[in-house]
Structure 1
Amino acid sequence: MQLHFPSALSTQDFLDHYWQKKPLLMRHAIGNYPFDLSPEELAGLACEPDIESRMVLQHDRNNWELRHGPFDEAVFAALPETNWTLLVQDVDKYIPSIAELLQLFHFIPGWRFDDIMISYAVTGGSVGPHTDTYDVFLIQAQGRRRWQIGNKASSDALLADLPVRILEEFEPEQEWILEPGDILYLPPGVAHWGIGEDDSCMTWSVGLRAPSVAEMLGSHTQYLLDQVPETQHYHDPALTPQDSPSEIQKEAFEQVNAQLDAWLNDKDMRRRWFGCFSTEIKDHLFIEPPEQPITPAQLLENLRRCTVQRHPYSRYAWSRSNHEHLYLFVCGELFELAQECQAAVMQLCDESRTGQVFFHGCETNQALLDTATTLFNLGWLEWADD
């Protein structure tokens, strides 16, 4: 399976000239992929209580209705013939063949991806003109969808008193009709409007994570608070008698800055925080641990004849530390390993199933085996189906 860029455009050209800069239409970008999820199957997912889904209905240009799942089957029978769309999040977490589609985008760091959302629209169905704060690859899977894009719009210029974010003003500058296999890439902030052209329109949206700076600051601050010992307190610089005892002198500010900067400017701590932050999973994607825990010896023996895979809800990433170690980040947790584990860690994080490299790493490094055992007993690793 391969992503086909327009003629004469290389992967590096895309990253240099389009990624997070401007839209790109890719005709016939995907070949030999079945796109065999039906609208009925998508509706079935939307009826499941643990799956995030919603429905958007347009009654007129300024009148939009938002409904949240899970839905009852009777809801679909009562829908109008036109102007509605169904959206289901995280479909890649539930259907392995859909998750494989992410391999098309291996040139983008894997920890950046959020999910594959799938939408089904009847004729005229859409979610209205809007902007997103993240990059997205809009893959046309079935039917046809008309896409209009405009200039970068202010996210504040929205229609008032609506449950969905609809731009108050939208002036399309380009327009295309996408057929199955076509992809439209959109960077953050580009105004766009997709409208179903027929009653079989299904679009698979590959979205990336783009946390706000405020969200990152909040998370980083909490991480620091969890790390700083309660025994650390402010202490004075060298004091001399001062004319006004109520004055906070510059030496006190310098002392405070030094004490805070020792934590705020700790780059290795920030690396550990960001790895944990970027691999956190959504609250509703709860991973059930196995009923029977396994010991390191049992895991190693089973690895001789079986392979393991990451749980489909889980998120993995790794990095090199500043202390000649590796950091393995899994579902918001940190595991520190020796550099000699790098090949095994890369296979664990990059490949859908572990192989001999991972087995050899566990066989020769007790810390890696203990870590793998912990991951298995948390449910973040599981036996692969053969």
Structure 2
Amino acid sequence: MQLQLPFPLSPQDFLHRYWQKKPLLMRNAIQGYDFDLSPQELAGLACEEDVESRMVLQQGENSWDLRHGPFDEAVFSRLPETNWTLLVQDVDKYIPHIAALMQLFHFIPSWRFDDIMISYAVTGGSVGPHTDTYDVFLIQAQGKRRWQIGNKAPSDTLLPDLPVRILAEYEPEQEWLLEPGDVLYLPPGMAHWGIAEDDACMTWSVGLRAPSVAEMLGSFTQYLLDHVPEEQHYYDPALAPQDSPAEIRPPALAQVDAQLNAWLNDADMKQRWFGCFSTEIKAHLFIEPPEQQFSPEQLFHELQHARLQRHPFSRYAWASRPGGGLYLFVCGEVFELPEDCKAGVVQLCDQAGSGQELLETCGNSRPFLHTVTELLNQNWLELHHD
């Protein structure tokens, strides 16, 4: 299954001309896929305690109501006939064939993706004109939705005192009606408004992670605090008598700058942090370790007749170390491996399931086997007997 870009556009053309620059409508871009998730199944997910969901109802031109799940089944029987939308996050984490849609976007780094959010709307249902801070692929799965696209809008032009972020001023410049199989790509900051045209409108939104600079700074700072040795302290440069003892002189500032930059500019430290940061999972998607713990020898034996599969909540990435070797990042943790484990690391990150051949790709490397055992004992990998 491949994403059918408009002819003659290639993935490289898309990334060069459209990615994070301007929207692109892709007609009939998904072919041969059965969008068989029903509204009832989506509503059932929204009733689950650990599933993030919300409902948006428009009750007038500038009157909107936001409700957060989990919902009781009786709520759905009391909804009006028009102008409401149900949105459920992380549906790909719970339904494997929906997660498989991520393969359509293999030309974009997998660690950038966040989730597939699915919205169901009746006629007139929408979440209002708004902007997002991240890239999104809007896949029309069932029914029809009319999308109005405007220019990039400042985030402070919002209607006041509303529970949802609705643009106060919105002038659409383009309008498209999407039908099943159509995909609309929107870059960050692009004003848009999607309105359901019928009572069976389902849109699957493939969203990418876009942490703020402030969020990254906060995370990196905390990572440094956790890893810089406490025994390291400020020490003076060469001192000379000064007329005013209270003066902070340039050599002292230069010394502070040098001591801090030794850590702030540590490329290896920054790489380790970013890999961990990029693979952290959301707090509500907690993965509980299994009761049974395996030794490397037990795992090696089990893989003779079983296979490993990534936990659906888990996140994986890898990178080459500046000084040689590899980093494997899983669920906010980092594992160091030798270069000859690359084939196994790539297979772990890029494929859904693996068996004995996973170990064979690394020549049954002991470091790799120990790492895979740790992943299994954290439940980031699951053992399946077919």
Which TM-score bucket, shorter chain as reference? over 0.9
CA distance in 1, matches of 2:64, 2:124: 13
Total equivalences in the alignment: 386
Q: Is the 8 A contact 2:130 2:165 kept in 1?
A: yes
Residue 364 of structure 1 aligns to a residue in which SS? coil
- Please report how far the alpha carbon of residue 384 of structure 1 lies from its aligned counterpart in structure 2 after TM superposition: 3.7
Q: Give distance in 2, aligned partners of 1:272 and 1:292.
A: 30
If the length of structure 1 is used for normalisation, what is the TM-score?
A: 0.99
Runs of 4+ in 1 over 6 A off after TM superposition: none
Q: CA deviation at 1:359?
A: 2.0
- Alignment correspondent of 1:305: 305
Say whether residues 1:9 and 2:9 are aligned partners: yes
| Letter paired with 1:216 | M
Q: Is residue 304–residue 355 contact of structure 2 (8 Å, CA) maintained in 1?
A: no
Q: Could you tell me how far 1:62 is from its partner in structure 2?
A: 1.0
Residue of structure 2 equivalent to 1:281: 281
* Partner residue in 1 for 2:291: 291
Tell me if 1:174 matches 2:202: no
CA distance in 1, matches of 2:362, 2:238: 54
Q: Which residue of 2 aligns with 1:332?
A: 332
How far apart in 2 are the matches of 1:364 and 1:293? 20
Q: How does 1:18-37 map to 2 (within 5 A)?
A: 18-37=18-37
Of 327-336 and 361-370, more deviation after overlay is shown by 361-370
**d(CA) in 1 for partners of 2:116 and 2:25?**
19
Confirm or deny that 1:159 pairs with 2:159. Answer: yes
**What is the rounded CA distance, in whole Å, between the counterparts of 2:250 and 2:94 in structure 1?**
58
Q: Could you tell me how far apart the structure 2 residues matched to 1:214 and 1:187 are?
A: 20
User: Which whole-Å CA distance do the structure 2 matches of 1:101 and 1:384 have between them?
Assistant: 22
1:294-350 Cα offsets, whole Å, 9 max, x none, are: 111010111122210110000000000112110000000000000000000000000
Q: Find the aligned partners of 2:213 and 2:47 in 1 and give their Cα distance.
A: 35
Q: Following the alignment from structure 1 to structure 2, what is the Cα–Cα distance between the partners of residues 354 and 166?
A: 46
- Measured on the aligned residues, the alpha-carbon RMSD in Å equals 0.9
* Contact 2:306/2:385 (8 A) holds in 1: no
| Partner SS for 2:283 | coil
Paired residue for 2:70? Answer: 70
**1:204 corresponding residue in structure 2:** 204
What CA distance in whole angstroms lies between the structure 2 residues aligned with 1:288 and 1:218?
Answer: 26
Alignment partners' CA distance in 2, 1:131 and 1:279:
25
- Paired-residue identity, %: 73
- Structure 1: which 5+ runs fail to align? none
Instruction: Give the C-alpha shift of residue 271 in structure 1.
Output: 0.2
1:250 aligned partner = 250
Letter in 1 for 2:21: K
The one-character-per-residue Cα deviations of 1:330-374 (angstroms, maximum 9, x if unpaired) are: 000000000000000000000111245422156621111111111
Structure 2 portions without partners, runs of 5+: none
Residue 379 (structure 1) aligns with: 379
| 2:188 aligned with 1:188 | yes
Aligned-partner Cα distance in 2 for 1:355–1:185: 36
CA distance in 2, matches of 1:110, 1:241: 58
- Report what 1:238 is aligned to: 238
1:246 CA displacement = 1.3
Distance in 2 between the 1:216 and 1:292 partners? 36
Report the equivalent of 1:91.
Answer: 91
Cα-to-partner distance string for 1:36-72 (whole Å, 9 max, x where unaligned): 0000100000000010000000011211000000000
Q: Does 1:223 align with 2:223?
A: yes
**Cα drift, residue 132 of structure 1:** 0.2
Partner deviation per Cα, 1:195-231 (whole Å, 9 max, x = no partner): 0000000000000000000000000000000011111
Distance 2:359 2:230 in 1: 42
- Once residues 231 and 2 of structure 2 are traced to their aligned partners in structure 1, the CA distance between those partners, rounded to angstroms, is 56
Secondary structure of the corresponding residue to residue 203 of structure 2: strand
TM-score by length of 2: 0.99
Q: How does 1:37-116 map to 2 (within 5 A)?
A: 37-116=37-116
